[in-house]
Amino acid sequence: MNIQKRIAVIGGGSWATAIVKMLTHNVDELFWWMRNEEAAQHIKETKHNPRYLSDVLIDTNIVAVNSDLETICKTAEIIILAVPSAFLHTTLSEIGIDLSTKTFFSAVKGIIPEQNQIVGEYLQSEYHVPSHQIGVITGPCHAEEVALERLSYLTVACEDSGTSEFMAQKLSCRYIKTTTSDDIYGTEYSAVLKNVIAVAAGIAHGLGYGDNYLSVLVSNAIREIKRFVDTVHPINRDIKDSAYLGDLLVTAYSKFSRNRTFGTYIGKGYSVKTAQMDMNMIAEGYYAVKCIKEINKEFQVKMPITDSVYRIVYEKMSPKLEFKLLSEELD
């Protein structure tokens, strides 16, 4: 792939800011879209995102910030999507140009709720983007640790090895190590499911379960993820790779995990609405569990942890009772 390909990052949150920080080490120009015009102007004037990862210095000599999405998408050949899945459909629907010639990388780690599709499937069906022009950026990598420049690992997946290697090189720096994969569906579904598991881990923590229980929960969770991704997209993959198991572990255990935090609120007795208002951030697991539940109606994979989270979050079942029943199914 031509190393002069222009890259755009779509999204103004923590993960988008972290991706921009990584890329500025390796590109001469970068386009960054965020919906909030005031935030975009603030970055131009101060070189800091006013709302997320505010300590990160943005090199505005490299980064061109704009709130005009269509202009940015016209300019860029590679588009990195880093907006919450719940808003992706609405965001992309504002674009009036043909997107089928663009290369996309999903850093969303969520499912489009309107279609119950992961981002790769959505781009193919809605915008006719060929599968070899779609990639995934995933792995155990919290934005907050990227901001602190703590050593982190990313997996870049794409059917086209040249495309994945190109993006991996652009993201790699002193504190970011990258690997590549061709498993765009497995890595993306796994990234979605680990958010659901993190909600479960948070609920367990909120209920007062300890580390011993959590280790058993996570052990069962990786098997649940494997059953699902192997059924939905059966290829040869090692579920112990960091893109799958590593991402699950950091999301289930880390204090930076918003999905775990959301689950902790629920476990302590807060309502979903109150938890969302208190956090003021999107917990992808909330949307993901409903979508996975719908998708699994076709595949009928055994998913006791996912089912428990769904009943707690959407059917308002007692977390204490649900986890007592779930505990009998774990081994």
* 177 shares its domain with 37: yes
Strand bridging mode 117-118 / 111-112? antiparallel
pLDDT of 2 > 80? The answer is no
| 270 alpha-carbon distance from chain centroid | 24
* 55 shares its domain with 168: yes
172 — pLDDT class (breaks 50, 70, 90): very high
pTM of the model: 0.95
Structural domain ending residue among the three candidates 148, 182, 216: 182
* 75 shares its domain with 215: no
Q: Over the chain, what is the mean pLDDT?
A: 96
User: Would you tell me how many other CB atoms lie within 10 Å of the CB of residue 185?
Assistant: 20
Domain of 102, CATH number, reads 3.40.50.720
Per residue in 40-62, pLDDT tens? 999 999 999 999 999 999 999 99
* 87 shares its domain with 105: yes
pLDDT of 1 > 70? The answer is no
Q: CA-CA distance, 248 to 237, in Å (whole number)?
A: 16
pLDDT of 73 > 90? The answer is yes
What's the domain range around 277? 186-329
Q: How many structural domains comprise the chain? A: 2
Dihedral sign for Cα atoms in the order 69, 152, 54, 119: positive
Per residue in 270-301, pLDDT tens? 999 999 999 988 899 999 999 999 999 999 99
* 175 shares its domain with 219: no
Cα→Cα distances 293→138, 231, 254, 330, Å = 22, 14, 25, 19
Domain of 222, CATH number, reads 1.10.1040.10
Structural domain ending residue among the three candidates 182, 215, 240: 182
User: Is residue 209 in some structural domain?
Assistant: yes
Q: CA-CA distance, 192 to 45, in Å (whole number)?
A: 36
* 54 shares its domain with 165: yes
Which SS3 state, helix, strand or coil, does residue 135 take? strand
* 174 shares its domain with 290: no
* 310 shares its domain with 231: yes
User: Is residue 229 in some structural domain?
Assistant: yes
* 195 shares its domain with 118: no
Percent of the chain with pLDDT over 70: 99
Residue 194 bears catalytic tag: yes
Residues linked to residue 111 through DSSP beta bridges, in sequence order: 118
User: Is residue 2 in some structural domain?
Assistant: no
pLDDT of residue 3: 56
Give the mean model confidence (pLDDT) for residues 180-193. Answer: 97
User: Is residue 1 in some structural domain?
Assistant: no
Q: Choose, from 21, 102, 109, 194, the residue flagged as catalytic.
A: 194
Would you say 182 and 161 are in contact if contact means Cβ atoms under 8 Å apart? yes
Cα→Cα distances 66→24, 186, 199, Å = 16, 33, 34
* 54 shares its domain with 131: yes
pLDDT of 244 > 80? The answer is yes
* 194 shares its domain with 307: yes
Give the mean model confidence (pLDDT) for residues 244-252. Answer: 97
